[in-house]
Structure 1
Amino acid sequence: MIFVLRHAERADNSPFQDDQKDVKLNFDPHLTDLGILQSQLCALSIKKILETYNPNAKQVVYVSSPFLRCVQTVQYVNQQLGLNAIDNKLYVQTHVGEMLRSTWFEEDINKKLTQKTDQSLSQQVGLKIEEPFAQDERLIQQVYPEDKLGDFYDRFKVAYEVIVEKFLNTYNTEETVLIIVTHGFGVQVVLDKFNCFSFSDMVDYCSINAFDYRQESLPNKEYPFIPKICVRQQHDHVKQADNEFSKRKQQIAKF
């Protein structure tokens, strides 16, 4: 099975000023405490999905956008999921990174991201960070500024196809799952690829989308493969995280 997730809550979008003050790089914010809880509960939801659709899963390949919020989402999902990360690695793939709009970024910040500059990040995450997972001449390199949504769509769609193709050709997908952690627009591209995205939908933090590419599950057994869509935009765990976090805040306030 293949999972495509959006990252958890980012500090610069937090309503709490303390979260915003702690951001070290304004273009690469970390997860909030709520975001950490969202990631942990997301992992528990993935475990339940696997129990239903793929109970034989034993190990996982992680592929992430290079942005810190995505890398940290993998960190906390991995801590709770209970599957062995292959070679104890997290693969960072720039091709599934955020859209580099000039209204969001003043320059190409890929070389300045925490993943590139913090030598201790792998130790903090608990996985060896390596890049990329897939190399292929079909991949479209990210160019700044990336202001056209169509350019982002083309880049991300090709990247998703290349990553999935390598995964399916390399691993026994009955025992191994792939988890891709990216951004809202990236999730949108994947769902749109299978004609199951509505622009009225909101891609919530830690939104889970799960696809079954096993041969017996494929609606179309000839390339291009159309997977069985097992889960689309599941985010009940986000509401659960909000409720639990509010209770924690209330308990702290009492003291």
Structure 2
Amino acid sequence: MKLTTNRNIFKYTENSRTEREDEIAVEYPLTVVLNGDEFATLVCSPSDLEDLVIGFLASEGVIRFPDEIKTISLDEKGGFAYVEITHQKPAGAEFYSKRFIGSCCGKSRQSFYFYNDVKTAKTVLTRAQITVAQCFRLMRLLQQHSSEFKNTGGVHNAALCDPHSILIARTDIGRHNTLDKIYGHWLRNRIPLHDKLIVFSGRISSEVLLKTAKIGVGIILSKSAPTDLALQLADQLGITVVGFIRGDQCNVYTHPERITETIAPD
């Protein structure tokens, strides 16, 4: 399915009006039917849908391993993903929407979680490091990667990288969907994560930070800003957050020991 569509528009400047064809990002609703029951409708870009569904179910705590999925089939025209899993999904709406208040890592500050986040988010203990120059380079590579972003400006991008290159890149209208697509691909392929990081185009919200923790990556780079709650969670979950990577400048917000000025020895 196409990620973009074309539409005739009027483009104005201060002194002129022209009619032209513009490229627009496609917004696609995908309803996940889990063991015969409608579970959720994801509004997404129509690409890498199987990765998206698997990553979403893992992020929600419905599955932990891909072999818990018995079957998965996509009706792309109708907008449905039919999934059969080996067990019953946790009963009760509270599993997916109940707030859980609790101290994390023995600290007195109280953190805000969904109940399923408590079950699936994990502290990241990686010793991976990356240089400041590598941060700049990876962000440039991400920005160059997506033709959909260049043509529409209406999508987000995320990539799983090592310090030198992009390994997996995903595009979506929803920034959180890009991470679920990466999570789903990782679950199916089990790429070692000890030296990996995520490069991201959007704002680092608490939801984005928690998805990073669920994947198990210890560094996230973004061209945009983090939120206060995201940084509280990053402090507690052991994740290095680098934001406002623009040109040759960036801000390191948490766990700065992973960001170095020179390449670390092998």
Q: Answer whether TM exceeds 0.5 for this pair.
A: no
Structure with bigger gyration radius: 2
Q: Which has the higher contact order (CA 8 A, sep 6+)?
A: 1
Q: What range is the shorter-chain TM-score in?
A: under 0.3
More helix by share: 1
More strand by share: 2
TM-score norm. by structure 2 comes to 0.24
